[in-house]
Amino acid sequence: MKRRAIVIDDDRLSREFLVEALQTCDYEVREAADAEAGIRMMRGGDVDLIVTDLRLPGADGIEVVRSAKERLPDVPVIVLTAYGSVTTAVEAMRSGAEDFLLKPVSPEQLEVVLERSMTVRALRHENKVLKARLDPAGEGSSPIVGGNARFRAVIRLIERVAATDATVLIRGESGTGKELAAELLHAGSRRSGGPFIRVNCAALTESLLASELFGHEKGAFTGAVSRKEGRFELARGGTLFLDEIGELPLEVQAKLLRVLETGDFERVGGTRTLQADVRVVAATNRNLEEAIRSGSFREDLYYRLNVVPVVLPPLRERLDDIPALAEHFLERFRREHGGPAREFSPRALAALKRAEWPGNVRELANCIQRAVLVAEEAVVDVAHLGLPESPSSDDLAVPVGRSLEEVERRLILGTLDATNWNRTEAARILGVTPRTLSNKLKTWRLRGLLEAQIGR
């Protein structure tokens, strides 16, 4: 689908040049010879870009910018003039212009500015989506679900350091919520009004990664047909999230270390030194200490990144949060997909707490989404989850590395499920009193689950 632009210029030749240049860049263009006509064109709202001359008959380009910011706040406006000065440029930018160019404008200049403007618009949209995700009710509601003591301690740490510009290293297994933690750091910072830019360091080759982070100049390599700003520039005033930092090639590690130490960098193929103005948050599921020993990760970079370490616990260490997380995802996916599913059966909740969840919270979310899609009644049961209903000897086998508390919890839940939640029978099998069994469940905040089973 073509993007849509409005060109406002009283000079016919200049207007025709801009229209042709934009059409070459795959824009559908409407044109106006004065500010009033251009402002009327904005009323439909179906606009992706506005290009206006500064000097126009009647209202000038500054008025166009102000009207655009009032009517279409997310649409970038580029101001052109043949009579440039610092004062006019500052006034245009303060009014909300995205860029300011002097005539005559070359097609190459226009192309670079268009690319930057569209990138900025996309980032604004992503930030709106991010804010909606972090505060869906628009009332400061928290996206954090669960009351596990260790997890809440991590959240308190995030809330404390968010207001600073300290570099943060988030560690945890896949699916534990590292990106959400980075988003919370950004949302709680003084940079929350700026962009939140994410780079997956494992998804790009070394050469592409350097270009993605630091940008490149025209002709820097084959395919570099124009100058490109990197993520350090695009994240200006905001947060740069470097996901899977443990996969960063050594050569790029050296360049990143320099930015963290001095704030300086150059685009690939460039000679001009640029200054970064970003807060860096990194994340990894790798053992970086082992990577340092093997020579694949720089120790000096590790210490630069690890100013504030945030370690997210795996789901198996916050089993008491599973019922709350499951209810949260049930409501979320019910709103997204519709369907009759409204609650979990006690057996389903027990099965959810008994599962291993190697994919952590992400895997749990996928499981609940599947259940919402396949359930044909209000109550989600074990069959909808795709999880085993009754524990077998294999189910109760505990891999090396689990805590004694976790082993005990799995054994008790498995025995209760096998005895159809008969507390007396389960206590007899386990060799404890029913009161001891109840106290254990109360400690793990599962007493309500037992009472629900008894009352069935």
Nearest to 279 by CA among 194, 172, 156: 194
Amino acid at 210: A
Matching fold, domains 3-117 and 145-311: yes
The 8 Å CB, 24+ separation contacts for 404-408 are 406/316, 406/317, 406/319, 408/440
Per the model's pLDDT, the better-predicted residue between 147 and 124 turns out to be: 147
- 126 — pLDDT class (breaks 50, 70, 90): low
Least confident stretch, 10-24, 81-95, 233-247, 424-438:
81-95
Domain coordinates in residue numbering, the chain: 3-117, 145-311, 315-389, 391-456
CATH number of 391-456: 1.10.10.60
**Is the Cβ–Cβ distance between 209 and 256 less than 8 Å?**
no
Beta-bridged to residue 264, according to DSSP, are 275
Q: What percentage of residues in the chain have a pLDDT greater than 70? A: 87
Residue count of the chain, please give it: 456
Domain range 145-311, its CATH number among 3.40.640.10, 3.40.50.300, 3.30.70.870, 3.50.40.10: 3.40.50.300
d(CA 319, CA 321): 5
For residue 282, give both structure tokens: 């990194």
Q: Is the pLDDT of residue 204 over 80?
A: yes
Beta-bridged to residue 419, according to DSSP, are none
**Is the Cβ–Cβ distance between 333 and 321 less than 8 Å?**
no
DSSP per-residue string spanning 302-332: HHHHTTEEEEPPPGGG-GGGHHHHHHHHHHH
d(CA 239, CA 161): 14
Element (H, E) at 8: strand 3-8
Cut 0.75: pTM above it = no
Q: What percentage of residues in the chain have a pLDDT greater than 90? A: 43
Topology of domain 315-389, CATH: Helicase, Ruva Protein; domain 3 (1.10.8)
Least confident stretch, 37-46, 47-56, 273-282:
37-46
CATH class for domain 3-117? alpha beta
The sheet carrying 77-81 orders its strands as 27-32, 3-8, 49-53, 77-81, 99-102
For residue 179, give both structure tokens: 């990106």
Where does 50-106 have alpha helices with state H? 61-71, 86-95
Beta-bridged to residue 279, according to DSSP, are 239
Please, how many CA atoms are within 13 Å of residue 253, restricted to the half-sphere of its CB? 20
Amino acid at 277: D
- Quick: pLDDT tens for 364-373: 999 999 999 9
Instruction: Say what the pLDDT of residue 174 is.
Output: 92
- 185 — pLDDT class (breaks 50, 70, 90): very high
Nearest to 449 by CA among 317, 324, 356, 341: 324
3-state SS assignment for residue 1: coil
Instruction: Say what the pLDDT of residue 405 is.
Output: 75
d(CA 275, CA 257): 14
Neighbours of 132 (CB within 10 A): 11
Q: Is the pLDDT of residue 158 over 70?
A: yes
